Amino acid sequence: MHVAAVAAATVALCAAGYLYLHRTPGLTVKGTIVLAEFENRTGDAVFDLTLRQGLAVQLEQSPFLSLVPDESIRHALRLMKLPLETRLTPEVAREVCERTASAAVLEGSIASLGNQYVLWLRTRNCRTGEVLAQEQTQAGTKEGVLNALSRIAIQVRTRLGESLTTIQQHSAPLEQATTSSLEALKAYSAGRSALYAHGYRAAIPHFKRAIALDSQFAMAHASLGFHSWNMGQTDLGAEEIRKAYELRDRVSDPERFYILMLYDREVTGNLQKELLTLESWAQTYPHDPVAHSITAGWGTRGTGQYERGIRAAQEAIRLAPDLSPPYASLAAHNLWLDRFEESAEVLRRAAERNVEIPESLVTRY
């Protein structure tokens, strides 16, 4: 009987292993995901916005998955004639998913169960409604919610077909990659939301509050530094970016690339090193349009590498057709190479997609 039981268990394990290795992944690397807002059933406002931002940090570590950029989401909301502050409920997120030609919507919720918290995630095909993955986990305390979110994010990444190798290489826990403070993460999330809806000036107080709540929050320092620099406060900007650089081991891999890029651009002035960082970023995360977009903009404009900028802009547009900066960069690079017809064609495409920025008007003139 003992031998038979062992044999049966062995067969079961082999079958499970075979099914895991030969399972059909829910997504491919060509598919993008729209991240909906968490449904907060706890009554505690600290979880509003916060969990979506935390989950985004976790999923953006994946070289396999690709989230729809926030700017593309805002573009879709404008086309839907909705305010930019509109919450991404499952219904709104599903329409955004269809408009951005994405593969799936990732929905989540949190509820309290006595002294514990239950987190739930579900990934749906935005056209058919088919459930591609569904996971649930619990946190024993409020302070343990971020760790629980890290765990459930890894479970979803596995369900959607990502290899265990890349998950092991790119899965820093949220408390390490962002902050251990829910309140600080909420302030940072509010800053990002205000940024896309109202601009730099509205976002800065939220980033300052996040730093006041957790002085070791690297990305809050980086965001405050970058946006202060853009408003002409270059000394404050450089100082905050320097602090972010000192804390660069407390971020996810994409955020580390971002901080290194900012440090060489706005603190050391080493533009060649900045380009090397952007190149490594794009190689590590080939489906992320951000590195390509920055390369097409700051990375190559300041060094006169116009052909390289054109290639980077084209790749960014291929990955995220509704991002504004790559169109402006592509038009500018062509203009500087005296390719007036090509520049005009890019501006026409940007106007058709309603993704022009003020710089595009100057280039057209």
At 248, give phi and psi (nearest 5°): -65, -15
Residue 222 has pLDDT above 90, yes or no: yes
Cβ neighbourhood burial of 352 (10 Å; 0-12, 13-18, 19+) = exposed
Residue 3, pLDDT > 60, answer no
CB neighbour list of residue 203: distance below 8 Å, 6 or more residues apart: 191, 192, 194, 195, 223, 227
In DSSP notation, 42-102 reads SS-GGGTTHHHHHHHHHHHT-SS--BPPHHHHHHHHHHTT--TT----HHHHHHHHHHTT-
Domain boundaries, given as residue ranges, for the chain: 33-177
- Report DSSP state, residue 178: S
Spatial contact of 44 and 110, defined as CB atoms under 8 Å apart: no
pLDDT greater than 70 at residue 1:
no
Residue 13 has pLDDT above 50, yes or no: no
Range 325-333 average pLDDT: 96
State the average pLDDT for the chain: 88
CA geometry: angle 342, 348, 352, nearest 5 deg: 145
- Beta strand 104-113 pairing with 116-125: antiparallel
User: Of the CATH numbers 3.40.50.10610, 3.40.50.720, 1.10.8.10, 3.30.1330.10, which one belongs to the domain with range 33-177?
Assistant: 3.40.50.10610
Range among 10-14, 262-266, 286-290 rated most confident: 262-266
Residue range 237-266: mean pLDDT, rounded:
95
Compare 164 and 244 and report the one with higher pLDDT.
Answer: 244
- Residue 188 pLDDT > 90, yes or no? yes
Residue (of 291, 297, 281, 269) closest to 359 by Cα position: 297
Q: What is the CA radius of gyration of the chain?
A: 22
Give the per-residue pLDDT at 30: 53
Stretch 288-292: mean pLDDT:
93
Compute the distance between CA of residue 49 and CA of residue 280 in angstroms, rounded to an integer: 31
What percentage of residues in the chain have a pLDDT greater than 90?
A: 67
